């Protein structure tokens, strides 16, 4: 079976696969950092919001939040509540008015697999942020990816009579700093069993590389650290969270 566009079919089971992800702890940790770096912030643009797991929690924390995702299927399944949702591309989205905070969470930036994608996504963030606004995103950290290597994994989740199994087979392209995660999904119900495939192309970055991209886009890096622990990036840190401030381009 040919691979579907990213998240077109997978999105139906996204929340099931990540129902054990500690979103509450992560948003509490992120909110503490946001208040430290931008205490007066009130408005937040969540790019690549998926089904709104982060988006709604930021709204519950008191921010006025807009969630944007390229997948209409993900937006349809968004956890409708206090936030507002729009279908849009993180590489070229323009909000009606600038915001205080822009976020790209759960490795949205790592889905930007080319230099042009990264540059356009950072330009989107710059153009949608107020002067002095805060950018927050996490990425796959190159030293950890090279040290640990992506592994073949199988995960099975159940919800009543529904059973969904995800087999992930990574194909690494070292020269391009890319991993193609080939997902094979099996969906079982009492009535039928079906299968589909998706390929998620993920890019990993080293810190110097990202700092260069951010500087060229008009951002000053405030911090780079492991989500939840605050540890400095290392070969043990698969995901690194960056906080950067929008400054005036020279």
Task: State how far the Cα of 170 lies from the Cα of 38, in Å rounded to an integer.
Answer: 38
- pLDDT tens digit string along 115-162? 999 999 999 999 999 999 999 999 999 999 999 999 999 999 999 999
Same domain (yes/no): 108, 220: yes
Task: State how far the Cα of 21 lies from the Cα of 246, in Å rounded to an integer.
Answer: 30
Q: What confidence category does residue 7 fall into, taking pLDDT thresholds of 50, 70 and 90?
A: low
Q: What is the CATH number of the domain that holds 180?
A: 2.20.25.110
Q: For residue 1, tell me if it sits in a domain.
A: no
243 φ/ψ angles, rounded to the nearest 5 degrees: -120, 125
Q: Is it the case that residue 244 has pLDDT exceeding 90?
A: yes
pLDDT on residue 4: 41
The neighbour count for residue 205, using CB atoms within 10 Å, is 21
Q: Is it the case that residue 42 has pLDDT exceeding 60?
A: yes
Q: For residue 168, tell me if it sits in a domain.
A: yes
Same domain (yes/no): 219, 187: no
Which of these, 120, 109, 89, 138, lies nearest to 202 by C-alpha position? 109
- pLDDT tens digit string along 148-207? 999 999 999 999 999 999 999 999 999 999 999 999 999 999 999 999 999 999 999 999
Question: Tokens 């087999």 label which residue?
Answer: 167
Same domain (yes/no): 183, 127: no
pLDDT on residue 250: 53
Q: What is the DSSP string of 22-54?
A: -HHHHHHHHHHHHHHH-TT--EEEEET-TTSHH
Residue at a domain's end among 185, 202, 219? 202
Q: For residue 2, tell me if it sits in a domain.
A: no
Number of domains in the chain: 2
C-beta separation of 40 from 242 below 8 A: no
pLDDT on residue 11: 83
Same domain (yes/no): 52, 65: yes
Same domain (yes/no): 119, 185: no
Same domain (yes/no): 26, 119: yes
- pLDDT tens digit string along 82-126? 999 999 999 999 999 999 999 999 999 999 999 999 999 999 999
Token pair listed for 167: 């087999």
Question: Tokens 């997902």 label which residue?
Answer: 183
Q: What is the CATH number of the domain that holds 36?
A: 3.40.50.150
pLDDT on residue 9: 76
Which of these, 69, 71, 94, 70, lies nearest to 84 by C-alpha position? 69
The mean-pLDDT minimum among 8-12, 17-21, 158-162 falls in 8-12
- pLDDT tens digit string along 205-237? 999 999 999 999 999 999 999 999 999 999 999
pLDDT on residue 81: 83
**Domain range holding 158?**
145-202
pLDDT on residue 5: 56
């Amino acid at each position: 079976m040919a691979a579907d566009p990213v998240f077109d079919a997978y999105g139906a089971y996204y929340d099931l696969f990540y129902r054990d992800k500690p979103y509450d702890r992560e948003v509490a940790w992120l909110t503490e950092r946001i208040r430290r770096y931008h205490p007066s912030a009130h408005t937040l643009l969540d790019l690549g919001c998926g089904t709104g797991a982060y988006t709604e929690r930021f709204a519950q924390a008191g921010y006025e939040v807009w969630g944007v995702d390229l997948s209409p299927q993900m937006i349809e399944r968004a956890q409708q509540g206090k936030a507002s949702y729009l279908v849009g591309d993180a590489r070229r989205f323009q909000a009606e008015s600038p915001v205080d905070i822009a976020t790209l969470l759960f490795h949205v930036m790592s889905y930007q697999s080319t230099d042009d994608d990264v540059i356009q996504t950072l330009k989107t963030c710059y153009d949608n942020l107020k002067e002095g606004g805060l950018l927050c995103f996490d990425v796959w950290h190159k030293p950890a990816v090279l040290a640990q290597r992506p592994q073949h994994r199988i995960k099975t989740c159940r919800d009543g009579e529904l059973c969904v199994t995800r087999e992930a087979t990574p194909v690494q392209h070292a020269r391009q700093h890319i991993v193609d995660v080939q997902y094979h999904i099996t969906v079982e119900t009492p009535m039928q069993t079906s299968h589909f495939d998706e390929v998620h192309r993920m890019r990993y970055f080293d810190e110097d590389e990202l700092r260069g991209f951010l500087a060229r886009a008009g951002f000053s890096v405030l911090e780079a650290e492991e989500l939840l622990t605050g540890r400095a990036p290392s070969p043990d840190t698969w995901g690194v969270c960056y906080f950067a401030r929008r400054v005036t381009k020279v």
